[in-house]
Amino acid sequence: MEWPRKGAVSPPLAQPCTLDTCILYNHGMANPRYAHNAGAVFKLQYHLVWCPKYRRPVLVGDVAARLKMLLAEKAAEMGATLHAMEVMPDHVHLFVETDPTRAPAHIAAQFKGYTSRVLRQEFGSLRSRLPTLWSRSYFASTVGHVSAATVQRYIETQWERA
């Protein structure tokens, strides 16, 4: 199957909608809800949360402002989109979208590693108060516009469409 390009014509509406045509076409134009690369059509969004070591409330004032700038820089460097970000005194929330080449564990590690290194260099109080800036753990959850029940129903009814 050829990926949609400018001027691509959608399949005739009289044909039943398959997964491929539903994803790729939206009444004659590429579906803007999805991104694509050479081999995949995707929309991968994650909710990531992590905390400072010992859940210390150190993400305040200048540290919080600098952390927000660093997270935005790292997202741009990775080619990720930050849809939302909130820095609380004792934890960070991100709503990030990326491509399938980056696993959630890799994304969290990149954000945590980069921000820890830079913040600890710039703010001596973080070095003296904590052995490391971030705890080893994090929370990751997928975010989607299709419910799990919808996907399950679609998979279970495949033989009906054959």
What confidence tens digit (pLDDT) does each residue in 16-27 have? Answer: 444 444 444 443
Q: Tell me, what's the pLDDT at 62?
A: 97
In a domain, 136, yes or no: yes
* CATH code of 76's domain: 3.30.70.1290
Which segments of the chain have a pLDDT < 70? Answer: 1-32, 162
Containing structural domain, residue 110: 44-143
Looking at the 3D structure of the chain, how many domains does it have?
A: 1
In a domain, 149, yes or no: no
Catalytic positions are: 154
Single-letter amino acid code for the residue at 25: Y
- Please state, in angstroms and rounded to a whole number, the distance separating the CA atoms of residues 47 and 96: 7
The answer for residues whose C-beta is within 8 angstroms of residue 31's C-beta and 6 or more apart is: 23, 24, 25
In a domain, 38, yes or no: no
Q: Tell me, what's the pLDDT at 48?
A: 94
pTM tops 0.95, yes or no: no
